[in-house]
Structure 1
Amino acid sequence: MTPQFEWDYSKDVINRLKHGVPFSMAQLAFADPKRVVAEDVAHSKSEQRYFCFGMVNGEILSVRFTYRNGIIRIFGAGYWRKGKAIYERENQIHR
């Protein structure tokens, strides 16, 4: 079953300007068979939130998301060092 994605289009525009990543590209991180999903305990207030760290275009992309009615709702994405470090650690990649 192919996952379904959604996002707020105004947040997508803001994310593109701030981090250079459109949410349409961010959903590709979920297709990485070595992706790492972790709960975002620092920002989880009213709903559970998560990170997906996955390889996109040869780089590790960090995607912030939640599940709403069985749909993955993306609300942030960027190429962040911490996400790369987690991905490499979990996949035992040594550099």
Structure 2
Amino acid sequence: MEQYFEWDEAKNRKNQKKHDVSFETASLVFEDPLRISIQDRHTDGEERWQTIGRVKGVLMLLVAHTIFDEDGFEIIRIISARQVTKAERDKYEHG
């Protein structure tokens, strides 16, 4: 299934100022074959997820997002992104 990404541009700018990570960069986490995704919670009827992965094998990020299907396409809506904590890095590296 093909993946597409969407986000709120105002949130993207706010995230860049707060965490120095753009949602464009965050979307690259989904190219990491070793990424891990954990269901976070339900908010307003949506399942929220956290995905931890590497961007181009170097930068490790946690991306909060939702996933939904639309006309046979997987749409990933990015909510926030930041560098991982030590505990999150350990979870990625050691399972």
On whether the aligned pair clears a TM of 0.5, the verdict is yes
Asked if residue 75 in structure 1 is aligned to residue 73 in structure 2, the reply is no
| Aligned partner of residue 40 in structure 1, secondary structure | strand
Which structure carries more strand by proportion? 2
Gapped regions of structure 1 (runs ≥ 5): 91-95
Question: CA shift at 1:86, angstroms?
Answer: 1.9
Which sits farther off after the overlay, 6-15 or 51-60? 51-60
| CA distance, structure 1, for counterparts of residue 7 and residue 88 of structure 2 | 21
Q: Secondary structure at the match of 2:38?
A: strand
Q: CA RMSD in A?
A: 1.4
1:6–1:74 CA contact under 8 A, matched in 2: yes
Q: Is 2:82 aligned against 1:89?
A: no
Aligned residue-pair number: 88
Q: Which amino acid aligns with 1:50?
A: W
Quote how far apart the aligned CAs of 1:8 are. 0.1
Which AA in structure 1 matches 2:54?
M
CA contact (8 A) 1:49 1:66 kept: yes
Q: Which runs of 4+ in 1 moved over 6 A?
A: none
* Contact 1:60–1:83 (CA under 8 A) maintained in structure 2: no
Which blocks of at least 5 consecutive residues in structure 2 are unaligned? none
TM-score (norm. length: structure 1): 0.84
